[in-house]
Amino acid sequence: MEPKTPHLILGTAGHIDHGKTSLVRALTGIETDWLPEEKARGMTIDIGIAHLELTGGTLGVVDVPGHERFVRTMVAGASGIDLALLVVAADDGVMPQTREHLEIVGLLGVPHAVVALNKADLVDPAQLGAVEQEIRALLRPGAFAAAPIVPVSAVTGEGLPALRRALEEAVARAESRRRAAFFRLPIDRIFSIPGRGTVVTGSMLGGAVHVGDRVELLPSRQELRVRGLQTHNRDIQGLVSGQRTAVNLVGLKKEDVHRGMELAAPGYLTPTHCLDVEASCLSSAPAAGLRSFVRVRLGLGTSEVLGRLVILEGKHLSPGGGALCQLRLHEPVVAEFGQRFILRDETAARTVGGGRVLRPVARRISLGRAPAECQTLRRIAGADEAGRIDQVLADAGTDWTPETAVAARAGATIEVVRQAIAALLKRGVLVRVPGLDYAVHTGALDALGERVCRFVKRYHASNPQLVGVDPGLLDRTFQRAAPAAVLEAALARLKQRGALVSKLDRMVALSTFQVEMGAGRRKLWERIRQELLDGGFKPPTADGLVALIGTRPTAIKEILQHAEAQGDVVQVDKGVFIPAETIQRLKDKMREFEAAHGPFSVSAIREYVESTRRYMVPLCEYLDRTGFTCRQGDLRTVVDGA
């Protein structure tokens, strides 16, 4: 088969001393052991890099250590590979790290593998056949059951042409596993070049990068400029995903970067201490499996971070089982939707499980909310790109989330994100909020509205004598939860649905709320009402009532607010409250005056009802506003039918 021009990366796997590094050297002519300690001990300790020339292109190669103490390094090297080369020595057969490395590449979702049965020159045909059967039995339960097994000797060169053909056939079937919509590079090696500064290397997971581009170092969020790029020891101006990459960065000190950090397009990835995931426990894990809140080591990209596994469905994950979980981490990480990860026990003695990320930026889930959150996570797991974008925007709440970040959290391209946002706006799922330059998800508005209603309900319970909540108090209470414009939009939705009502033009109350007035307050209201009625068209003001009745101003204010909300009085000016009966009498007087004299001025009606300008001007303006009268110049007439 003719292979495609590959932008693919091959990773080795296998037990220590089974010949991974020597086999890479025999295939590529490149020595991947680069540390002095490796050369002195004859043992791979760190990740080694090479490239394999194939018919139709160049395959990047990542060689990893096989010793059990360096599984963490193996996971970092395997995180970006598309094709695994499992190396098994014919004189040893399947060994512990053979099994663990195979489990790791399976958990990472590597779709294709080729097995090199190395050191074939050291055994007789019978033993070679027996080891091949052992390998086939190991592969049979998993995704690599049909992987080719090629006997080979890195020392004599026996089988190398056949191994190369097997790799070319695998590459022809393979497709790049790159998901990232933008540039992303988990860092696996760091070094300095005199006169040029710090260089980092890794396997590009997506997008493209060019000399001069601005990139972000994560999780520290330091923005840097790309000074130079290399792939396979060649300087180049730009690179695309699927290539091994060396990036020379301006302004970065070697001590400020370490394996596990990442480079990405600015704004694409968001550091987090919490991930919502689908997790599984390996069948080979201890019989006790994994219990909730157990401490684990997360292998994600090239990083390894300590944290706790919180099982959201039950309290226990049995060997071979899976569940929705949350990872709560001691250090921040960055991830995308669908990214694969590895779980090792706290002591890093063995691999116990793995899975994929569903929410790359999550909030802590209380166990009480777990059932509802699991329903959401199951929807995310089964949703298409549009459905995931909808949920990402709902999860973002009232905060602005850049389209690039939405792409990472939903596992979508920027074009799909923009199309989905346009569709959500058209359907009314996203709404434009006046004063903001971004749309807000109605789910976030409704969630904020529920919090507001709970607050108002508590306020009513504590203040049953008050008409409602002052909007200023709501602004102060929810200023950290949402911008003022978003709060106003949430209140508008609640009022439109009838959950909240406005009282006295400003106060906010539940539509079902009724002010409680005890016997003492009812008696005080009767006294206030009588004073207002006795005052006729020039009743006492609120301050005057305090002086007349001799009670606290706040008591007078609260009772007048309640009376206004009930429609018993109207506040026509600051401190001026007119009983509804008095307003009705004034309307009758205006009709009577107009019938006898025609249109009337404020002065004329003031003299007619024996009032003063202090009262009559705001009263006439109130009747204008409410449509009872119509003003033309200085004269007014009663509107027909009013």
Quote the tokens at residue 88.
Answer: 């098994």
Cβ contact 98:149 at 8 Å: no
Helix axes 602-609, 580-597, angle to 10 degrees: 110
Mapped onto helix, strand or coil, the DSSP state of residue 493 is helix
Quote the tokens at residue 211.
Answer: 């000399």
Catalytic residue among 7, 18, 20, 112: 20
Q: Is the peptide bond before 219 cis (omega within 30 degrees of 0)?
A: yes
CA dist., res. 335 & res. 361, Å (int) = 8
- Are β-strands 272-281 and 322-333 bridged in parallel, bridged antiparallel, or unpaired? antiparallel
Quote the tokens at residue 17.
Answer: 């001393």
Catalytic residue among 4, 67, 495, 538: 67
Cβ contact 485:439 at 8 Å: no
* Rg value, the chain, Cα: 37
CA dist., res. 298 & res. 29, Å (int) = 35
Residue 142 makes CB contacts below 8 A (sequence gap 6+) with: 102, 106
Phi, psi of 583 (to 5 degrees): -65, -40
| CA dist 548 → 56, 570, 581 (Å) | 100, 20, 21
- Specify whether 441 is catalytic: no
CA dist., res. 625 & res. 414, Å (int) = 52
One-letter identity of residue 365:
I
> Which residue's entry shows tokens 């909540």?
469
13, β-bridge pairs: 86
- Specify whether 21 is catalytic: yes
235, β-bridge pairs: 230
Cβ contact 37:22 at 8 Å: no
One-letter identity of residue 484:
A
259, β-bridge pairs: 261
Quote the tokens at residue 374.
Answer: 């699991």
| CA dist 295 → 69, 261, 290, 343, 385 (Å) | 19, 22, 10, 10, 33
- Specify whether 20 is catalytic: yes
Question: Count of CB atoms within 10 A of residue 610's CB?
Answer: 9
CA dist., res. 142 & res. 99, Å (int) = 12
Catalytic residue among 15, 18, 21, 112: 21
Quote the tokens at residue 393.
Answer: 């925007």
> Which residue's entry shows tokens 């260089």?
199
- Specify whether 67 is catalytic: yes
Catalytic residue among 7, 12, 15, 17: 17
Cβ contact 392:444 at 8 Å: no
| CA dist 607 → 249, 350, 537, 610, 616 (Å) | 86, 97, 11, 5, 10
Cβ contact 348:342 at 8 Å: no
Mapped onto helix, strand or coil, the DSSP state of residue 478 is coil
DSSP for residue 4: P
Mapped onto helix, strand or coil, the DSSP state of residue 258 is coil
Phi, psi of 87 (to 5 degrees): -105, 125
User: What amino acid positions are annotated as catalytic residues?
Assistant: 17, 20-21, 67
